[in-house]
Amino acid sequence: MKPKITIAADEAAFDNLAAWRVVGEILNNPSTVVGLSTGRTTAGMHAAICDIHSAHPFDVANVTIFGVDEVTGVPRDYAGACYTMLRTEIVDTLGIALENFIMPPTTSDDFERECRDFEAALAARGGVDLQILGLGTNGHLGFNQPGTPFGSTAWHSRMDSELETRIRRETGTPPDKELGGITLGLKSIMHSRRIVLVAKGASKAAIVKQILEGPVTPDVPGSILQLHPDCEFILDKASASLLTQLT
């Protein structure tokens, strides 16, 4: 079953459509486990969720929030750490209890153990009910870059060179210190009961078309979403502009 495609009329509609997917999940399941992503695409969505909660408060006491990935090799309070971004953009504003905010650490002497612990923490909550995903221009999901095996579970990866250059500049990290990222693997992501991928802007149009209308291949990690039984793409007009098979 191909993913459902929803095209927003404008940026405000895009953010609100995505926000209501999360809010609706929480209203339907007050003990839900929701995975979020960070970046320019999702910041407006997070703000819209907070606005809805402010106008129409809903119970989040038993909601679990986690990030699909985390930068490693940087301080946890670095503004670009996923932990810090999610706390700033949504967790603290909604009043999510920190014991219900699951994130792998940014530093560790055993990242393989941290990956196992990350998976175990989500399994202990009953698994992922809703996973919100962003999308890289090369088709990556989380830190799962092209070539990542479809059978991957949480793992410690290298980050792409453009992101690494920016983070080194912002944090003053020397060249001899390794930077990377913990991410849920593609198999783990596919175990989510429901997935919503959000993408906007003309820069995403080519990869959106490739993911939705091209072959399913590890060379384009996001293409695996064609195989998920309950997946939706929320797009703006620019990111959907090259699609020929709208559903």
CB 14 within 8 A of CB 8: yes
Q: Report d(CA 234, CA 84) in Å as an integer.
A: 25
Helix (H, G, I), strand (E, B) or coil at 64: strand
**Helix extents (H) in the chain:** 11-28, 40-55, 82-86, 92-94, 111-124, 161-171, 186-190, 205-213
Q: Is residue 94 part of a domain?
A: yes
Q: Is residue 246 part of a domain?
A: no
Please give the structure tokens belonging to residue 164: 């690494």
Q: Is residue 178 part of a domain?
A: yes
The model's confidence at residue 247, banded by pLDDT at 50, 70 and 90, is low
Distances (CA, A) of 75 to 78, 103, 177: 5, 14, 13
Express as a percent the part of the chain with pLDDT over 70: 99
Q: Residue 203's closest CA among 148, 147, 241?
A: 241
- How does the average pLDDT of the chain come out, rounded? 95
Q: Is residue 240 part of a domain?
A: no
Q: Is residue 166 part of a domain?
A: yes
Task: Give the CATH number, domain containing residue 45.
Answer: 3.40.50.1360
Q: Is residue 243 part of a domain?
A: no
Domain that holds residue 61: 4-235
Helix (H, G, I), strand (E, B) or coil at 101: strand
Amino acid, single-letter form, for residue 40: R
pLDDT tens for 47-104 read 999 999 999 999 999 999 999 999 998 989 988 899 999 999 999 999 999 999 999 9
pLDDT tens for 16-52 read 999 999 999 999 999 999 999 998 899 999 999 999 9
pLDDT tens for 115-146 read 999 999 999 999 999 999 999 899 999 999 99
pLDDT tens for 135-185 read 989 999 999 999 999 999 999 998 777 778 888 888 888 887 888 899 999
Q: Is residue 244 part of a domain?
A: no
Q: Residue 168's closest CA among 181, 155, 158, 177?
A: 177
Q: Is residue 132 part of a domain?
A: yes
Provide the domain count of the chain.
1
Q: What is the DSSP letter of 91?
A: I
